[in-house]
Structure formats: C-alpha cells, structure tokens
C-alpha cells in the first residue's frame, strides 16, 4: 500500500500555473494580484449524504471542485487556487487516478491551481476550499437586491433533481433525456464566466445549490425584500420534453437541489443587455420574476396571469392553497 506521501505525489501533484509553492511543503505560498480582494469558500461532499458511494470517481473529482467554483461564480469572483481535503476508507489507486483526472479536468478548464490539502482515513468525503479574486466593491452579494429588480436564472434548473430522481428509480427517462439529466447531476458547470460578466450589472446573486425557492428566500431575507415568480416564465419546456408531468417539472425546477445555476437580481433597464449576453454566451438566461418590498412572513409568491397560486415562507416547497 503506498504511503500518504506517495499517494499525494502520484495523484495530486501537478505543476502549478500561478503559485510560488504548491503541494509538498507545510503550507502553500501564492501572491494575490495587487489591489484584489480574496474570495474564499469551502464545501464538503459526504458519501451517502451528497452522493451515492458507487458514483463514478471521475465525476466525483469534477463535482468536488465544480460545486466550490460555483460559489465563487456567485460572488462574481475569478477562481485562482484550491485546496483538497480527502477522507478515504482505503487507498484504491484506480479510484484515485479517476478522481484526480476529474478534479484536474475541472481545475484546468477554470484556471485553478491545486496548492495543498490533507489526506486522512475514514468514511469517504471530500472538501475543497477555493480562493478567487475580485476587485474591491465588485463582489455580488446576496444583500444588494432592490425593490423593482427583475429576477433572472441561468441554464436549466431542475435538471439535476430529475437526474437524481431517475437514479432513484422515481422517474423513467429515455436515452438522451436521461443522459442530459445525469450530466446535470454529475457534471455541473459552474457559471464562472457569467458571474464575471454580471459584475456591475447584478445587484444581488447566489447559486441555487439547495433549490431555487430556498435559495431565493436567502436572497430575499438578506436583501430585506419579497419576491414574486411568474409561473409562465419558468423554463419548464426542456423538463416536460423528457415526458414528465408539468407539475412534477415545476417541483424539480423550484425545489430540486444540486443545480449550480446562478440566480440574480438586476434592474429592468438591463434587460436588453442581459438578453444579448445570453445570446453571445449560449447560456440561457430566463427572467422569472421580480423583487418587491417585503410583506411579513411571505417571502415568495408564485402567480399566473390569472392570479396568485401559491406562497412560501422560504422553505422547500410551496404550501399549496
Ligand atoms: P502535514 O503533515 O504537514 O499536514 P501532509 O502530509 O498532510 O503534511 O501533506 C503534505 C503535503 O501534501 C502538504 O503540502 C499538503 O498540502 C499536501 N496534501 C496533502 N493531501 C493533499 C491532497 N489530498 N491534495 C493536495 N495536496 C495534498
Ligand atoms: Mg496533513
């Protein structure tokens, strides 16, 4: 069995691109670009809690970093560095090779150096801590929403929840639809470029890792506002095209987790700019509602052209009237 030192050397040591001293010493050394702030975030994936233990290790490697980069994207920060803490039940070289391949594939695409970490024995879990850069006052927080702002969401929320339901055997999906839903679950694409493009445009932003409604509630609370979602504006077509019922599709979209799309608030004067950004980037941006002044415990309302259909205090599901 290789020692921890061998394991780290073999699987987690790659030449860094912008780091003085990376893996191998007691601490890493890197220089932040002068004048920039550091944005730091950490997220853990635990076997049996966040993923099925038999999940493909390459996908797990990718996702370990991707979910962390999503948090930097949601701040409008440029990812630069990461650490990786791995807890492994045993040393399985084949598993580690695949995990490292997935992890470094994500690191290379997003320009991130792995600068250090820790390796311990125990139930399978991984934690990445990511470091990004953002100019002072440019970070997009959850608290900057303004009454009258439009609410926008990127990509296809709900697809990852559908993938999870397919894995659990709760829905049956045909070939291409199943592949797309599982890709959303296993291979999320952190919206880093979008996050950077939204500096100076979005007033408030977060990523919807815990489900759109629950995360929107965080934005509402932090901004001291309430939100209205327009049922007809929700991007349901790609979900219902898989053959699932519209009501179930709406549930996946609004309450499903693991989407890693960006949800943000921007002034209505930005509509043309954001539509152009979606066209240029090829990433869908859907305007799904608006922010308004708060109204007691009701943080989020869902309505159709015919009127109100549901309200939520910010928990997992709408209470159906
Ligand atoms: P220490 O005992 O000083 O904590 P370790 O043996 O844990 O040192 O780690 C040795 C070096 O390997 C350190 O530079 C550490 O950052 C790095 N390292 C350990 N585990 C990982 C990992 N999973 N990924 C990347 N670097 C790691
Ligand atoms: Mg250590």
Ligand 1 atom at shortest distance from the alpha carbon of 85: 23
Asked if residue 119 has its Cβ within 6 Å of ligand 1, the reply is yes
Q: How far is the CA of 71 from the centre of ligand 1 (A)?
A: 24
**Which one of the ligands is nearest to 91 CA?**
1
Does residue 116 line the site of ligand 1, with CB under 6 A?
A: yes
Q: Whose CA is closest to atom 6 on ligand 1? A: 5
| Phi and psi, residue 113, nearest 5° | -90, 135
Residue 120 has pLDDT above 80, yes or no: yes
Cβ–ligand 1 distance for 117 under 6 Å, the answer yes
Tell me the percentage of the chain whose pLDDT exceeds 90: 89
Residues of the chain with CATH 3.90.650.10: 150-310
Average pLDDT over residues 115-131: 97
Phi, psi of 172 (to 5 degrees): -110, 120
pLDDT digits (tens, 9 = 90+) for 25-60: 999 999 999 999 999 999 999 999 999 999 999 999
Predicted local confidence at residue 315, as pLDDT: 44
What is the average pLDDT across 88-95? 95
Query: Which of 86, 117, 125, 128 for mutating ligand 1's site (highest number of atoms within 8 Å of CB)?
Result: 117
Beta-strand runs (E) in 9-149: 37-46, 78-88, 113-121, 125-134
Mean pLDDT score across all residues of the chain: 93
Helices 57-75 and 175-186 cross at an angle (nearest 10°) of 60
**Structural class in CATH, domain 150-310:** alpha beta
**CA–CA separation, 186 and 181 (whole Å):** 9
pLDDT at 2: 64
Question: What mean pLDDT comes out for the span 19-30?
Answer: 94
* Of 6, 12, 21, 23, best ligand 1 pocket probe by most atoms within 8 Å of the beta carbon: 23
The CATH class for the domain spanning 4-134 reads: alpha beta
CA 117–ligand 1 middle distance (angstroms): 5
310 pLDDT above the threshold of 90: no
| CA of 35 relative to ligand 1 center, distance in Å | 29
316 by Cβ neighbours in 10 Å (0-12 / 13-18 / 19+) ranks as middle
Higher-confidence residue of 318 and 122: namely 122
Angle at 114 between CA 111 and CA 117, to 5 degrees: 155
Residue 114 CB less than 6 A away from ligand 1 = yes
Altogether, the residues listed in the chain come to a count of: 321
Label residue 316 by pLDDT band (50, 70, 90): very low
Residue 25, SS3 per DSSP: strand
| Residue 318's pLDDT band (cuts 50, 70, 90) | low
Strands, sheet with 225-230, edge to edge from the N-terminal-most edge strand: 202-207, 262-266, 150-154, 285-293, 225-230, 300-304, 307-312, 319-320
Query: What value does the mean pLDDT take over residues 237-246?
Result: 93
pLDDT for 259 equals 93
Instruction: Determine the atom of ligand 1 nearest the C-alpha atom of 26.
Output: 3
Q: Label residue 313 by pLDDT band (50, 70, 90).
A: low
Q: What is the pLDDT confidence band of residue 320, given thresholds at 50, 70 and 90?
A: very low
CATH 3.30.1330.10 domain position(s) in the chain: 4-134
Q: For residue 295, what pLDDT band results from cuts at 50, 70 and 90?
A: low
Nearest Cα residue to atom 27 of ligand 1: 117
CA 123 to chain centre: 24
In this prediction, residue 321 has a pLDDT band, given cuts at 50, 70 and 90, of very low
């Amino acid at each position: 069995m290789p020692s921890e030192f061998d394991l780290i050397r073999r699987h987690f040591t790659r030449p860094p691109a912008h780091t003085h001293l990376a893996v191998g010493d007691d601490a890493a050394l890197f220089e932040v670009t002068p004048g920039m702030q550091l944005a730091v975030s950490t997220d853990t994936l635990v076997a049996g809690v966040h993923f099925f233990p038999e999940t493909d290790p390459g996908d797990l490697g990718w996702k370990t970093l991707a979910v962390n980069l999503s948090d930097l994207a949601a701040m409008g920060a440029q990812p630069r560095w990461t650490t990786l803490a791995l807890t492994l039940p045993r040393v399985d070289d084949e598993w580690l090779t695949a995990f490292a391949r997935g992890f470094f594939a994500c690191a290379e695409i997003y320009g991130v150096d792995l600068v250090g970490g820790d390796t311990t024995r125990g139930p399978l879990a991984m934690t990445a801590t990511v470091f990004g850069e953002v100019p002072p006052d440019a970070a997009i927080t959850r608290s900057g929403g303004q009454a009258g702002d439009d609410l926008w969401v990127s990509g296809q929320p709900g697809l990852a929840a559908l993938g999870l339901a397919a894995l659990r055997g709760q829905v049956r999906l045909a070939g291409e639809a199943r592949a797309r839903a599982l890709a959303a679950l296993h291979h999320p694409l952190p919206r880093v470029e979008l996050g950077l493009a939204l500096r100076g445009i979005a007033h408030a932003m977060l990523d919807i890792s815990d489900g759109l409604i629950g995360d929107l509630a965080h934005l509402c609370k932090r901004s001291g506002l309430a939100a209205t979602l327009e049922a007809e504006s929700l991007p349901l077509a790609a979900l219902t095209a898989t053959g699932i019922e519209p009501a179930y599709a709406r549930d996946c979209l609004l309450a499903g987790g693991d989407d890693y799309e960006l949800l943000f608030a921007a002034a209505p004067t930005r509509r043309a700019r954001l539509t152009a950004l979606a066209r240029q980037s090829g990433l869908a941006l859907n305007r799904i509602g608006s922010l308004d002044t708060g109204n007691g415990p009701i943080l989020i309302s869902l309505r159709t052209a015919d009127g109100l259909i549901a309200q939520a205090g910010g928990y997992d599901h709408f209470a159906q009237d």
